[in-house]
Amino acid sequence: MKDNRTAALTKEMFKKLSFRPPAETIAGESVPVWRDVLRRLASNKLAMAGVVFLALLAVMAIIGPLISPHDYFTNNLDRTNEPPSGDYWFGTDNLGRDLFSRIWMGARISLIVGLAAAFIDLVIGVIYGGIMGYVGGRTDEAMNKASEILYSIPYLLVVILLLVVMEPSMWTIILALSVTGWINMSWIVRGQILQLKNQEYVLAARSMGASGARMLFKHLIPNTLGPIIVTLTLTVPSAIFSEAFLSFLGLGVQSPAASWGTMINDSLASWTLYPWQMLFPAALISLTMLAFNVFGDGLRDAFDPKLKK
């Protein structure tokens, strides 16, 4: 049988043809995950509006106090409580200080507090959560219990206690916010790593003798990036809120430094007469938190389109 068949095959049958069958085409361009995420994010108009607003805010926080003809701390008692005008663009407060400069100084503080708190949460949370998830067993149990106990203590009480003991300032607020802020992040990282730990590529890396730290930082943590970034974006507005809240209560940033919280508090006494003193900081803090929230929601949808409803 076999011989018969081979005999039927002549040399001519194996001549090269000029015709080449079309290669299989891929319907869409193959893209890395992050580009996919960015594309989905860019198509979310609300989230992009948030990004644009935040970019503008950042620019104004940097150049705002510089382009105003007045600085943010000089009292000008001849010109107190002035409405917005060509000279004082957002008006003046009860000490005659330029509200335009103060607003953008407040933006600086809000952004620094938000970003610094998020960054500290990120570092501590990722390390702590990474160790919990990766090492597992008794270590995980003990560390988890410890973080649970710390978490059960209401954060505002911790923050206020620390602020009573330390000098109130922006840095104290950042420190106080970080004392309990990282816990949520560490739990998210832990959960993600527990899920990833049993995946094949992790087993492969381990069988090739990768060290613990390499496994953690090279393989596990990069794959948990989505939830980490989303959590971070949503940490920022809550840190901004906490700073304004504490400053509003008089526990945070102290005069002459300007925080949106203190500005709103200062305006409370007289804002029936001078409403702009409250409207500008109130509008800006609300818009900033709104922008971070819609951006964070957009990111979450972009990372996990299944969640979108």
Residues in contact with another protein by CB under 8 A are: 145, 148-149, 152-154, 156-157, 160-165, 237, 241, 244-245, 248-251, 261, 264, 268, 271-272, 275, 278, 282, 285-287, 289-290, 293-294, 309
Report the DSSP beta bridge partners of residue 92: 98
Shortest distance, CB of residue 269 to another protein, whole angstroms?
11
Please name the residues in contact with 70: beta carbons below 8 A apart, sequence gap of 6 or more.
76, 88, 97, 98, 100, 101
Nearest to 58 by CA among 292, 238, 264, 262: 292
- Closer of 205 and 287 to another protein (Cβ): 287
Q: Count other Cβ atoms within 10 Å, centred on residue 165.
A: 9
> In angstroms, what is the minimal distance from the CB of 120 to another protein?
20
Minimum CB separation of residue 194 from another protein in Å reads 15
User: What angle is formed at CA 239 by the lines to CA 238 and CA 245, rounded to 5 degrees?
Assistant: 85
Q: Minimum distance from CB of 281 to another protein (Å)?
A: 8
Q: Which residue has the tokens 């409403």?
A: 275
For residue 136, CA distances in Å to 125, 128, 133, 209 come to: 16, 12, 5, 19
| φ, ψ of residue 92 in degrees (nearest 5) | -125, 165
Nearer to another protein (CB atom), residue 113 or residue 216? 113
101 vs 293, beta carbon nearer another protein: 293
β partners of residue 107: none
User: Nearer Cβ to another protein, position 18 or 272?
Assistant: 272
Residue 81 CB, nearest distance to another protein (Å)? 16
- Taking the least distance from each CB to another protein, the nearer of 165 and 208 is 165
